[in-house]
Amino acid sequence: MGNENNLIDGKAIAETIKNELISETEKFFQEKNIMPKLSVIIIGEDPASLFYVRMIERNCKKVNFQFEKHALTSDTNEDELLALIEQLNRDDKVYGIIVQTPLPSPINQQNIQKAVHPGKDVDCFNPVNMGNLAMGTPLFLPCTPNAVFEILKREKIEVEGKHVVIVGRSSIVGKPLSLILLLKQPNANATVTVCHSRTGNLAEYTRKADVIVAAAGKARLITGSMVTDNTVVIDVGTNEVEGKLVGDVNFEEVSKIASRITPVPGGVGPVTNMMLMKNTLQAAKNINNTV
Ligand code: NAP
Protein backbone atom coordinates (compact mmCIF):
# COMPACT_ATOMS: atom_id res chain seq x y z
CA MET A 1 0.00 0.00 0.00
CA GLY A 2 2.18 2.81 1.26
CA ASN A 3 1.04 6.41 0.99
CA GLU A 4 1.87 9.78 2.43
CA ASN A 5 -0.98 9.45 4.95
CA ASN A 6 0.49 6.43 6.70
CA LEU A 7 2.80 8.45 8.96
CA ILE A 8 2.13 8.41 12.71
CA ASP A 9 2.96 11.80 14.18
CA GLY A 10 4.53 11.14 17.60
CA LYS A 11 5.10 14.84 18.23
CA ALA A 12 1.39 15.60 17.80
CA ILE A 13 0.44 12.71 20.10
CA ALA A 14 2.92 13.97 22.72
CA GLU A 15 1.46 17.49 22.46
CA THR A 16 -2.05 16.16 23.09
CA ILE A 17 -0.85 14.17 26.11
CA LYS A 18 1.03 17.22 27.42
CA ASN A 19 -2.17 19.30 27.30
CA GLU A 20 -4.12 16.53 29.05
CA LEU A 21 -1.46 16.38 31.77
CA ILE A 22 -1.56 20.15 32.29
CA SER A 23 -5.33 19.97 32.92
CA GLU A 24 -5.04 16.89 35.15
CA THR A 25 -2.23 18.47 37.16
CA GLU A 26 -4.28 21.65 37.62
CA LYS A 27 -7.29 19.60 38.78
CA PHE A 28 -5.09 17.61 41.17
CA PHE A 29 -3.64 20.84 42.56
CA GLN A 30 -7.14 22.30 43.08
CA GLU A 31 -8.23 19.15 44.94
CA LYS A 32 -5.10 18.41 46.99
CA ASN A 33 -2.95 21.53 46.88
CA ILE A 34 -0.06 19.36 45.66
CA MET A 35 2.32 19.87 42.75
CA PRO A 36 3.95 16.62 41.57
CA LYS A 37 7.69 16.74 42.12
CA LEU A 38 10.26 14.69 40.21
CA SER A 39 13.72 14.21 41.62
CA VAL A 40 16.59 13.21 39.33
CA ILE A 41 19.97 11.96 40.46
CA ILE A 42 22.84 12.30 38.02
CA ILE A 43 26.39 11.20 38.66
CA GLY A 44 29.29 12.67 36.70
CA GLU A 45 29.33 14.65 33.47
CA ASP A 46 28.27 12.21 30.74
CA PRO A 47 27.04 14.57 27.96
CA ALA A 48 24.14 12.33 26.86
CA SER A 49 22.95 12.04 30.49
CA LEU A 50 23.24 15.80 31.05
CA PHE A 51 21.22 16.37 27.87
CA TYR A 52 18.57 13.89 28.93
CA VAL A 53 18.25 15.42 32.41
CA ARG A 54 17.86 18.91 30.89
CA MET A 55 15.09 17.51 28.71
CA ILE A 56 13.32 16.05 31.75
CA GLU A 57 13.57 19.43 33.46
CA ARG A 58 12.05 21.15 30.41
CA ASN A 59 9.23 18.62 30.28
CA CYS A 60 8.50 19.09 33.98
CA LYS A 61 8.20 22.84 33.36
CA LYS A 62 5.85 22.24 30.43
CA VAL A 63 3.37 20.32 32.60
CA ASN A 64 3.90 22.45 35.75
CA PHE A 65 5.68 19.83 37.86
CA GLN A 66 8.38 20.66 40.34
CA PHE A 67 11.81 19.37 39.39
CA GLU A 68 14.93 18.91 41.44
CA LYS A 69 18.35 17.72 40.36
CA HIS A 70 20.92 16.05 42.58
CA ALA A 71 24.22 16.28 40.71
CA LEU A 72 26.84 14.04 42.31
CA THR A 73 30.51 13.83 41.46
CA SER A 74 31.82 10.78 39.59
CA ASP A 75 33.67 9.55 42.70
CA THR A 76 30.35 9.00 44.54
CA ASN A 77 30.20 5.48 45.95
CA GLU A 78 27.28 3.06 46.18
CA ASP A 79 26.59 3.71 49.88
CA GLU A 80 26.41 7.46 49.33
CA LEU A 81 24.02 6.98 46.41
CA LEU A 82 21.86 4.55 48.39
CA ALA A 83 21.72 7.06 51.28
CA LEU A 84 20.45 9.80 48.94
CA ILE A 85 17.84 7.47 47.43
CA GLU A 86 16.67 6.57 50.93
CA GLN A 87 16.40 10.27 51.80
CA LEU A 88 14.26 10.86 48.68
CA ASN A 89 12.17 7.74 49.39
CA ARG A 90 11.30 9.31 52.77
CA ASP A 91 10.76 12.85 51.44
CA ASP A 92 6.98 13.21 51.23
CA LYS A 93 7.27 16.12 48.79
CA VAL A 94 9.05 13.90 46.21
CA TYR A 95 6.76 11.67 44.15
CA GLY A 96 9.06 10.38 41.44
CA ILE A 97 12.74 9.39 41.59
CA ILE A 98 15.01 8.79 38.63
CA VAL A 99 18.60 7.66 38.85
CA GLN A 100 20.20 8.55 35.54
CA THR A 101 22.38 5.87 33.92
CA PRO A 102 25.14 5.05 33.13
CA LEU A 103 26.43 4.82 36.70
CA PRO A 104 30.16 4.71 37.53
CA SER A 105 31.25 1.08 37.10
CA PRO A 106 31.83 0.16 40.78
CA ILE A 107 28.15 0.92 41.50
CA ASN A 108 25.85 -2.06 41.10
CA GLN A 109 22.92 -0.89 38.96
CA GLN A 110 20.55 -3.57 40.20
CA ASN A 111 21.10 -2.57 43.84
CA ILE A 112 20.21 0.99 42.88
CA GLN A 113 17.10 -0.01 40.92
CA LYS A 114 15.91 -2.10 43.88
CA ALA A 115 16.50 0.79 46.30
CA VAL A 116 14.05 3.21 44.67
CA HIS A 117 10.71 2.86 46.44
CA PRO A 118 8.31 1.05 44.06
CA GLY A 119 5.71 3.79 44.57
CA LYS A 120 8.18 6.46 43.38
CA ASP A 121 9.81 4.31 40.70
CA VAL A 122 8.48 6.31 37.73
CA ASP A 123 11.00 4.69 35.35
CA CYS A 124 9.55 1.35 36.44
CA PHE A 125 12.98 -0.28 36.76
CA ASN A 126 12.51 -1.75 40.24
CA PRO A 127 12.04 -5.55 39.87
CA VAL A 128 8.96 -5.25 42.11
CA ASN A 129 7.28 -3.11 39.47
CA MET A 130 8.40 -5.42 36.67
CA GLY A 131 7.01 -8.34 38.72
CA ASN A 132 3.68 -6.55 39.18
CA LEU A 133 3.50 -6.03 35.43
CA ALA A 134 4.32 -9.70 34.80
CA MET A 135 1.49 -10.67 37.18
CA GLY A 136 -0.91 -8.47 35.21
CA THR A 137 -1.32 -5.89 37.99
CA PRO A 138 1.06 -3.05 37.13
CA LEU A 139 1.48 -0.02 39.36
CA PHE A 140 3.22 1.90 36.57
CA LEU A 141 4.07 1.00 33.00
CA PRO A 142 7.69 1.56 31.89
CA CYS A 143 7.94 4.68 29.74
CA THR A 144 9.16 3.49 26.33
CA PRO A 145 6.93 0.38 26.09
CA ASN A 146 4.05 2.48 27.38
CA ALA A 147 4.72 5.03 24.64
CA VAL A 148 4.30 2.25 22.05
CA PHE A 149 1.09 1.13 23.79
CA GLU A 150 -0.22 4.71 23.92
CA ILE A 151 0.53 5.30 20.23
CA LEU A 152 -1.34 2.13 19.26
CA LYS A 153 -4.32 3.14 21.43
CA ARG A 154 -4.48 6.73 20.26
CA GLU A 155 -4.09 5.81 16.59
CA LYS A 156 -6.87 3.22 17.08
CA ILE A 157 -4.62 0.39 15.94
CA GLU A 158 -6.42 -2.62 17.39
CA VAL A 159 -4.05 -5.31 18.71
CA GLU A 160 -6.58 -7.57 20.41
CA GLY A 161 -6.26 -11.00 18.79
CA LYS A 162 -3.65 -9.62 16.40
CA HIS A 163 -0.09 -10.79 15.98
CA VAL A 164 2.50 -8.34 17.30
CA VAL A 165 6.15 -9.14 16.57
CA ILE A 166 8.60 -7.35 18.85
CA VAL A 167 12.21 -7.30 17.70
CA GLY A 168 14.29 -7.00 20.89
CA ARG A 169 13.96 -8.56 24.34
CA SER A 170 15.65 -6.00 26.62
CA SER A 171 14.32 -5.41 30.14
CA ILE A 172 13.68 -1.77 29.24
CA VAL A 173 11.75 -2.16 25.98
CA GLY A 174 11.05 -5.53 24.36
CA LYS A 175 10.28 -7.70 27.37
CA PRO A 176 8.02 -5.26 29.26
CA LEU A 177 6.23 -4.36 26.02
CA SER A 178 5.41 -8.03 25.49
CA LEU A 179 3.91 -8.11 29.03
CA ILE A 180 1.85 -4.96 28.40
CA LEU A 181 0.43 -6.27 25.13
CA LEU A 182 -0.45 -9.57 26.82
CA LEU A 183 -2.47 -7.85 29.58
CA LYS A 184 -6.07 -9.01 29.76
CA GLN A 185 -7.53 -5.58 29.16
CA PRO A 186 -8.94 -3.45 26.37
CA ASN A 187 -6.36 -2.35 23.79
CA ALA A 188 -4.11 -5.26 24.74
CA ASN A 189 -4.91 -9.03 24.49
CA ALA A 190 -2.47 -9.38 21.61
CA THR A 191 -0.69 -12.52 20.46
CA VAL A 192 2.95 -11.63 20.93
CA THR A 193 6.14 -12.99 19.41
CA VAL A 194 9.42 -11.68 20.80
CA CYS A 195 12.45 -11.97 18.50
CA HIS A 196 16.09 -11.34 19.39
CA SER A 197 19.60 -11.72 18.04
CA ARG A 198 19.40 -15.53 18.11
CA THR A 199 16.12 -15.68 16.20
CA GLY A 200 16.65 -17.60 12.98
CA ASN A 201 15.18 -15.93 9.88
CA LEU A 202 13.71 -12.78 11.41
CA ALA A 203 11.85 -11.95 8.19
CA GLU A 204 9.80 -15.14 8.51
CA TYR A 205 8.30 -13.68 11.72
CA THR A 206 8.01 -10.05 10.69
CA ARG A 207 6.22 -10.93 7.45
CA LYS A 208 3.52 -12.68 9.49
CA ALA A 209 3.01 -9.70 11.82
CA ASP A 210 0.05 -7.36 11.97
CA VAL A 211 2.24 -5.01 14.00
CA ILE A 212 6.06 -4.93 14.13
CA VAL A 213 7.79 -3.11 16.97
CA ALA A 214 11.48 -2.66 16.19
CA ALA A 215 13.58 -2.25 19.35
CA ALA A 216 16.92 -3.83 18.51
CA GLY A 217 19.23 -0.81 18.40
CA LYS A 218 20.40 -1.81 14.90
CA ALA A 219 20.11 0.87 12.27
CA ARG A 220 17.74 0.03 9.40
CA LEU A 221 17.44 -3.65 10.43
CA ILE A 222 13.85 -3.91 9.20
CA THR A 223 13.84 -3.65 5.42
CA GLY A 224 11.10 -3.47 2.82
CA SER A 225 11.17 -7.20 2.10
CA MET A 226 10.41 -7.93 5.79
CA VAL A 227 6.99 -6.25 5.85
CA THR A 228 3.71 -6.57 4.02
CA ASP A 229 1.25 -3.87 3.03
CA ASN A 230 -1.01 -4.63 6.01
CA THR A 231 1.73 -4.15 8.58
CA VAL A 232 1.86 -1.36 11.14
CA VAL A 233 5.49 -0.56 11.98
CA ILE A 234 6.51 1.11 15.23
CA ASP A 235 10.19 2.07 15.32
CA VAL A 236 11.68 2.42 18.82
CA GLY A 237 15.29 2.43 17.65
CA THR A 238 17.55 5.45 17.96
CA ASN A 239 20.90 5.02 16.24
CA GLU A 240 23.40 7.60 15.19
CA VAL A 241 24.65 7.02 11.66
CA GLU A 242 27.03 9.55 10.15
CA GLY A 243 25.82 12.19 12.57
CA LYS A 244 22.16 11.53 11.78
CA LEU A 245 19.53 9.91 14.02
CA VAL A 246 17.99 6.87 12.34
CA GLY A 247 15.66 4.14 13.57
CA ASP A 248 15.79 0.35 13.41
CA VAL A 249 13.61 0.50 10.30
CA ASN A 250 14.74 1.34 6.80
CA PHE A 251 12.21 4.15 6.59
CA GLU A 252 12.67 4.87 2.92
CA GLU A 253 11.80 1.31 1.91
CA VAL A 254 9.29 0.38 4.61
CA SER A 255 7.24 3.60 4.55
CA LYS A 256 6.34 2.83 0.92
CA ILE A 257 4.81 -0.51 1.96
CA ALA A 258 3.56 -0.44 5.57
CA SER A 259 -0.01 0.62 6.34
CA ARG A 260 1.18 2.88 9.21
CA ILE A 261 4.67 3.80 10.40
CA THR A 262 6.36 5.95 13.04
CA PRO A 263 9.32 8.10 11.94
CA VAL A 264 12.62 8.56 13.77
CA PRO A 265 12.93 11.21 15.05
CA GLY A 266 9.39 12.36 15.86
CA GLY A 267 7.79 9.00 16.61
CA VAL A 268 8.13 7.03 19.84
CA GLY A 269 10.66 9.42 21.47
CA PRO A 270 8.42 12.43 22.23
CA VAL A 271 5.64 10.17 23.54
CA THR A 272 8.14 8.37 25.83
CA ASN A 273 9.02 11.72 27.42
CA MET A 274 5.38 12.36 28.23
CA MET A 275 4.94 8.86 29.70
CA LEU A 276 7.50 9.79 32.35
CA MET A 277 5.40 12.83 33.26
CA LYS A 278 2.27 10.68 33.28
CA ASN A 279 3.89 8.22 35.71
CA THR A 280 4.98 11.08 37.98
CA LEU A 281 1.44 12.45 38.21
CA GLN A 282 0.18 8.90 38.75
CA ALA A 283 2.69 8.43 41.59
CA ALA A 284 1.51 11.65 43.25
CA LYS A 285 -2.10 10.52 42.93
CA ASN A 286 -1.36 7.02 44.24
CA ILE A 287 0.55 8.33 47.26
CA ASN A 288 -2.27 10.78 48.02
CA ASN A 289 -4.99 8.17 47.43
CA THR A 290 -6.56 9.94 44.48
CA VAL A 291 -7.81 7.78 41.64
P1 NAP B 1 19.36 -3.38 24.00
O2 NAP B 1 19.34 -3.52 25.48
O3 NAP B 1 20.67 -3.31 23.28
O4 NAP B 1 18.55 -4.62 23.40
C5 NAP B 1 18.49 -4.86 22.03
C6 NAP B 1 17.69 -6.10 21.76
O7 NAP B 1 17.62 -6.30 20.36
C8 NAP B 1 18.29 -7.36 22.37
O9 NAP B 1 17.27 -8.18 22.87
C10 NAP B 1 18.98 -8.03 21.18
O11 NAP B 1 19.00 -9.44 21.24
C12 NAP B 1 18.07 -7.60 20.04
N13 NAP B 1 18.79 -7.57 18.75
C14 NAP B 1 19.99 -7.01 18.49
N15 NAP B 1 20.33 -7.23 17.20
C16 NAP B 1 19.34 -7.95 16.66
C17 NAP B 1 19.12 -8.50 15.37
N18 NAP B 1 20.01 -8.33 14.38
N19 NAP B 1 17.98 -9.19 15.16
C20 NAP B 1 17.08 -9.36 16.14
N21 NAP B 1 17.22 -8.86 17.39
C22 NAP B 1 18.35 -8.17 17.64
O23 NAP B 1 18.53 -2.11 23.51
P24 NAP B 1 17.25 -1.37 24.19
O25 NAP B 1 17.67 -0.64 25.39
O26 NAP B 1 16.10 -2.32 24.26
O27 NAP B 1 16.95 -0.30 23.06
C28 NAP B 1 16.61 -0.68 21.75
C29 NAP B 1 16.62 0.54 20.85
O30 NAP B 1 15.63 1.44 21.29
C31 NAP B 1 17.92 1.33 20.88
O32 NAP B 1 18.15 1.89 19.60
C33 NAP B 1 17.65 2.43 21.88
O34 NAP B 1 18.44 3.58 21.64
C35 NAP B 1 16.20 2.70 21.57
N36 NAP B 1 15.44 3.31 22.67
C37 NAP B 1 14.60 4.33 22.33
C38 NAP B 1 13.82 4.90 23.29
C39 NAP B 1 12.85 5.98 22.90
O40 NAP B 1 12.23 6.58 23.74
N41 NAP B 1 12.67 6.24 21.60
C42 NAP B 1 13.92 4.48 24.61
C43 NAP B 1 14.75 3.41 24.94
C44 NAP B 1 15.50 2.82 23.94
P45 NAP B 1 19.80 -10.26 22.40
O46 NAP B 1 18.93 -10.13 23.62
O47 NAP B 1 19.85 -11.64 21.88
O48 NAP B 1 21.13 -9.58 22.55
pLDDT digits (tens, 9 = 90+) for 192-225: 999 999 999 999 999 999 999 999 999 999 999 9
pTM above 0.95, yes or no: yes
State residue 5's pLDDT score: 87
More confident residue, 288 or 50: 50
Whether the CB-CB separation of 36 and 280 falls below 8 Å is answered with yes
State residue 4's pLDDT score: 61
Q: How many CB atoms lie within 10 A of CB 72?
A: 15
Q: Return the residue whose CA atom lies nearest to atom 17 of ligand 1.
A: 197
Give the distance (Å) from ligand 1 centre to CA of residue 169.
Answer: 7
Q: What is the b/e burial string over 102-132, where b = at least 16 CB atoms within 10 angstroms of the residue's CB? A: ebbeebeeeebbbbbbbbbbbbbbbebbbeb
- Span 122-139, mean pLDDT? 97
* Alpha-carbon distances of 80 from 70, 76, 85, 86, rounded to whole Å: 12, 6, 9, 10
Residue 13 confidence (pLDDT) above 60: yes
Whether the CB-CB separation of 165 and 213 falls below 8 Å is answered with yes
Give the distance (Å) from ligand 1 centre to CA of residue 168.
Answer: 5
Residue 212 near ligand 1, beta carbon < 6 Å: no
Q: Return the residue whose CA atom lies nearest to atom 19 of ligand 1.
A: 197
Q: Return the residue whose CA atom lies nearest to atom 2 of ligand 1.
A: 170
- Span 139-165, mean pLDDT? 98
Confidence of residue 244 (pLDDT cuts 50, 70, 90): very high
- Residues contacting 242, CB < 8 A, separation 6+: none
- Nearest ligand 1 atom to the CA of 198 is 47
Confidence of residue 2 (pLDDT cuts 50, 70, 90): very low
Confidence of residue 3 (pLDDT cuts 50, 70, 90): low
Residue 264 confidence (pLDDT) above 80: yes
